[in-house]
Amino acid sequence: MGNHILVYVDQFKGQVMPASWEGLGAAQILAEKLGDGIAVLVAGEASHAVAEQAFHYGATEVYYSDSPSLSDYRPEPFTDFVVNVAHEQAAEVILFPTTTRGRELAAMSAVDLGAGVMPDVTALEVEDGRLIATRPVYAGKLLAKTYCETGPQIVTLRGRAFKAPEADSAQTGTPIQVDAGVIESDVSTRVLGYTQAEGGVSLGDAGVIVSGGRGVSNNPSLTPPEGMDEKEAEVWRAQQGFKLVGELASVLGGAVGASRAAVDADYVPYENQVGQTGKLVSPDLYIACGISGAIQHQAGMRSSKVIVAINKDPDAPIFKLARFGVVADLYDILPPLTEAFRQRL
Amino acid sequence: MNIVVCIKQVPDSAATVVAEGGQASWGDAPLVMNPWDEYAVETALLQYEAYGGDVTVISVGAEGATEAIKSALAMGCTQAYLVSDPELAAADSRVIAHVLAAAIKKVGDVDLALFGKQAIDSDMGVTAPQTARILGWPVLSLVSVVQELNPDDGTIKVERSIEEGRQVVESKLPAVVTVSKDIADPRYPSFMGIRKAARADIPVWTLADLEVDVPDPLVRWPEVVNPPVREITNEIISGASPDEIAESLADKIIGEKVL
C-alpha cells in the first residue's frame, strides 16, 4: 500500500508555518475515510530537522530535499520538487497550507500534474472517495461547495480551520532524501537578500487580534510635538493610539490589526490591514477599537469567535457583530483594560 | 517595455452578495475592476512612464464585460482586449490561465505580465502563478517594490512580501509579477482619460482567435450557499467609570474561555 495523501509542510529557515501541521490533522481524517497513508513533503535548507519532526505529527513517510537549488525559496524549483514526489507517489490528494508559498506551489503543481486546485478551504468531506471542499468566496460573504472531477485533488487549507494533531515525540522515522530534479541553469531567478519583519504574532495565525481604526487618531487631549503640520499631527496622534492597541495585544499574546481607513491614512503599514483587501482572519478573540465596521472590514473578521467593539459612536455597525460592546473613548478604556488583563492572566 | 496587465471585472466590494438558487447574486451593484488589479495597472503605468512602450489590458469575461477594461484605459493603459467565448462559461482557474497565456503570446514580445493578488469574487489567487507556469516564465508574487527594471539586459529586481518579511529577488524577463497593495496608490482616471476610454475600440478575442486548445475544466462548484447565520447576543458593558467598565469587560471576556 502506498501513501497517496501528500501534505506539504511550509518552512522558512527552519521555522514551520503553523498551518502546515494543521494539514496533518486534516490528512489523518482523510486517511481514515479513504483507507490511505500520509506522506509529508518538505524542502529547503533546514528541511531535514523539520522532516524528522513531521513523524511526531503522524506522517507515515517523509520526503525531503535540501539540494542547493532549494536553499532559498523560489517557486519554480520548489514546484519541481513537489511534482516529482507527487508523480512518484501517484498522489491522490495534496494538501498545502494557505500561505503565500503554499498557495502558489499548489497553483503551479496543478498545472504540471493536470489537476484541479481548490485554495483556502475551510472544511473537507469525503463522498464516494472524492473530496468535497468548502471555501469562502466574496471574502466570506458566501461559501462555495467545490470538488475536482479527477485526481490528484490539490487543496490549500485556511489557517486555523483544521486542528493540528498533538505532537508525539515517541513517533519517529527516517526521512527519505529525494532528488528535486532541478537544473539550476534552468531557473531564471536568484534570491539576493531577505529582511525580517518586525517581531510579533502574524495576523493569520493569531488567536487574539486587537485592531485599531480611524478613531484611534481622535484624541484631542494629546499635544503633538511642535513643528508638525496637520497631517503629521494626525499620524502622530494615531501612533499614540496604536501604542495602546499594541500594549493590549501584547498582554493578550495577540497581533495588531487595522482597518483600511487606518492603513490608507498611513497610521500603520499595510501588513496590518484586516478586511476584504487586507487579511481575512478568524481569531478566537477580536477586539475592534475605534473601527466603525464597514462591510469590507466585516468580511475580513466576522468569523472571529468572540468580537468585542469599543467605539464612541453607539450607531457604529460593528456593534451588531459584537458579543460585547463598550460605547466610550478607546483612550479611556484601553489603559485600564490592559491593566485588568495584566492582573488576571 | 511591453507590458500586459491581466484584470478581472467583479461586483463592487461594497455590494451585498447573497446566494440565490445556489448562485451568487449581487443585485444591481456596479461591476468594477477587481480592486487588487488597480495596483497592477498603476505599477504598469509607472514602468510605462519610465521606459515607454505599451501597456495592454487583457480581461477574460462575458460578452460586453468592458467596465473594468474602460477603467484601466481611463487610467492610461494604451490598448485592451476582451477575451470572450461561450466555451469559457464553466472555466476553472487552470483553463483561464491557459487562455491568458495564449492571449499574452498573441500580444507578442511581452516583457512583463502584471496581475493583482487575487480576485475579490472567487478569492482563488492562483491564476497568475498558473499562467506563469504555462508560459514557462518565472513568477514574482506579492511584489511591494520594483527596485530595478532593466529592459536592455532583460532583468528585474523586486522586493516581495512574505509572511516572514521581505525577500529581494532578481529575475530574468519575461516574467509574471503579482503586486501587493503597498506598491503604489492607484491613480484616478483623468477626465480626458475617461472620454478616451468611452470611445475606445475594445477588440474581442475568441478561443479560435487565440488558436488555443484549452483543457477541460476540472474544478466544479455546483453550489454556493449563504454562510450559517450566527446568533450573537449583543451586550453593552457600562459602568460608573472607565476602570469599572474595563474590569467588568475583562471578566466577561475571560468568561468566554477564548484566552
HEC string of A176-216?
A: EECCCCCCHHHCCEEEEEEEECCCCCCHHHCCEEEEECHHH
User: Mean pLDDT score of chain B, rounded to an integer?
Assistant: 96
Name the grid cell of B10: 467583479
- Mean pLDDT over B176-195 rounds to 95
Helix/strand/coil for A26 = helix
Per-position DSSP letters for A50-79, written without gaps between them:
HHHHHHHTT-SEEEEE--GGGSS--HHHHH
Residue B246 distance to chain A (closest CA, Å): 5
Task: Judge: B164–A305 Cβ closer than 8 Å, yes or no.
Answer: no
Backbone angles phi, psi at B203, to 5 degrees: -60, 145
Identify the sign of the CA torsion A75, A299, A124, A49.
positive
Q: Under 8 Å CB-to-CB from A229, ≥6 apart: which residues?
A: none
- Mean pLDDT over B42-56 rounds to 97
Checking if the pLDDT of A200 tops 80, the result is no
Backbone angles phi, psi at A129, to 5 degrees: 75, 5
pLDDT, tens digit, for every residue of B91-136?
A: 999 999 999 999 999 999 999 999 999 999 999 999 999 999 999 9
pLDDT, tens digit, for every residue of A174-186?
A: 999 998 888 899 9
> Taking Cα atoms as reference points, which of B163, B97, B158, B100 lies closest to residue B125?
B97
**In the Cβ-directed half-sphere of B34, how many Cα atoms lie within 13 Å?**
27
CA dist., res. A173 & res. B11, Å (int): 51
> Taking Cα atoms as reference points, which of A313, A279, A319, A316 lies closest to residue A296?
A279
- The helix (H) or strand (E) run that includes residue B58 is strand B54-60
Task: State pTM to two decimals.
Answer: 0.93
Q: What is the ipTM of this complex?
A: 0.95
CA dist., res. A220 & res. A234, Å (int): 10
Checking if the pLDDT of A201 tops 90, the result is no
CA dist., res. A236 & res. A331, Å (int): 15
Tell me if the domain spanning B2-210 has CATH number 3.40.50.620.
Answer: yes
Task: Judge: B36–A76 Cβ closer than 8 Å, yes or no.
Answer: no
Task: Judge: A79–B216 Cβ closer than 8 Å, yes or no.
Answer: no
Contacts with A252 from chain B: Cβ below 8 Å: 259
Q: In percent, how much of chain A has pLDDT > 70? A: 99
Q: Determine the pLDDT at residue B189.
A: 95
Checking if the pLDDT of A305 tops 90, the result is yes
- Mean pLDDT over A218-237 rounds to 89
CA dist., res. A23 & res. A3, Å (int): 15
CA dist., res. B170 & res. B147, Å (int): 10
Please give the order of strands across the beta sheet that includes A130-137.
A123-127, A130-137, A142-148, B219-225
- Confidence label for A52 from pLDDT (cuts 50, 70 and 90): very high
Q: Determine the pLDDT at residue A173.
A: 96
Checking if the pLDDT of A57 tops 70, the result is yes
C-alpha triplet B15, B19, B24: angle, nearest 5°: 65
The answer to whether residues B114 and B104 touch, using CB atoms and an 8 Å cutoff, is: no
Q: In percent, how much of chain B has pLDDT > 90? A: 96
Give me the residue label for grid cell 483600511.
A260
Alpha helices in chain A (DSSP H): 19-34, 47-56, 75-88, 100-113, 230-251, 260-264, 295-301, 318-321, 330-344
Per residue, what are the HEC states of B141-196? Answer: EEEEEEEEEECCCCEEEEEEEECCEEEEEEEECCEEEEECHHHCCCCCCCHHHHHH
Q: Determine the pLDDT at residue B229.
A: 86
> Taking Cα atoms as reference points, which of A62, A37, A34 lies closest to residue A47?
A62
pLDDT, tens digit, for every residue of A12-34?
A: 999 999 899 999 999 999 999 99
The answer to whether residues A299 and B227 touch, using CB atoms and an 8 Å cutoff, is: no
Looking at the partner chain, which of A138, A141, A270 has a beta carbon nearest the beta carbon of B182? A270
Checking if the pLDDT of A2 tops 80, the result is no
**In the Cβ-directed half-sphere of A195, how many Cα atoms lie within 13 Å?**
8
CA dist., res. A125 & res. A134, Å (int): 9
Task: Judge: B165–A305 Cβ closer than 8 Å, yes or no.
Answer: no
- Mean pLDDT over B247-258 rounds to 96
> Taking Cα atoms as reference points, which of A333, A206, A242, A332 lies closest to residue A324?
A333
Checking if the pLDDT of A211 tops 60, the result is yes
- Confidence label for A197 from pLDDT (cuts 50, 70 and 90): confident
**In the Cβ-directed half-sphere of A176, how many Cα atoms lie within 13 Å?**
13
- Confidence label for B230 from pLDDT (cuts 50, 70 and 90): confident
Checking if the pLDDT of A332 tops 60, the result is yes
Looking at the partner chain, which of A147, A197, A295 has a beta carbon nearest the beta carbon of B14? A295
Give residue A226's Cα distance to chain centre.
41
- Mean pLDDT over A53-73 rounds to 96
pLDDT, tens digit, for every residue of A113-163?
A: 999 999 999 999 999 999 999 999 999 999 999 999 998 999 999 999 999
Which of A107-111, A190-194, A196-200 has the least mean pLDDT?
Answer: A196-200
Q: Determine the pLDDT at residue B131.
A: 98
CA dist., res. B8 & res. B58, Å (int): 9
Q: Is B21 on the interface with A (CB under 8 A)?
A: no
Q: Determine the pLDDT at residue A1.
A: 52
Contacts with A276 from chain B: Cβ below 8 Å: 13, 35, 120
> Taking Cα atoms as reference points, which of B124, B114, B131, B113 lies closest to residue B212?
B131
pLDDT, tens digit, for every residue of B157-180?
A: 999 999 889 999 999 999 999 999
The answer to whether residues A271 and A256 touch, using CB atoms and an 8 Å cutoff, is: no
Residues 64-83 of A with CB under 8 A from B: 72-76, 79
Q: Is B247 on the interface with A (CB under 8 A)?
A: yes
CA dist., res. A170 & res. A98, Å (int): 29
- Confidence label for A301 from pLDDT (cuts 50, 70 and 90): very high
Largest CA distance in chain B: 74
The answer to whether residues A279 and A273 touch, using CB atoms and an 8 Å cutoff, is: yes
Contacts with B226 from chain A: Cβ below 8 Å: 142-143
Helices A75-88 and A100-113: crossing angle in degrees, nearest 10, is: 50
- Confidence label for A297 from pLDDT (cuts 50, 70 and 90): very high
The answer to whether residues A138 and A120 touch, using CB atoms and an 8 Å cutoff, is: no
Whether the upstream peptide bond of residue A336 has omega within 30° of 0, thus cis, is no
Q: Determine the pLDDT at residue B145.
A: 97
Q: Determine the pLDDT at residue A199.
A: 63
**In the Cβ-directed half-sphere of A113, how many Cα atoms lie within 13 Å?**
31
CA dist., res. A22 & res. A43, Å (int): 18
The DSSP output letter for A279 is B
Q: Is B130 on the interface with A (CB under 8 A)?
A: yes
Structural domains of chain A ordered from first start? 5-186 (3.40.50.620), 203-344 (3.40.50.1220)
Q: Determine the pLDDT at residue B18.
A: 96
Q: Is B256 on the interface with A (CB under 8 A)?
A: yes
Checking if the pLDDT of A48 tops 90, the result is yes
- The helix (H) or strand (E) run that includes residue A93 is strand A93-97
3-state helix, strand, coil in chain B (%, to 5): 30, 30, 40
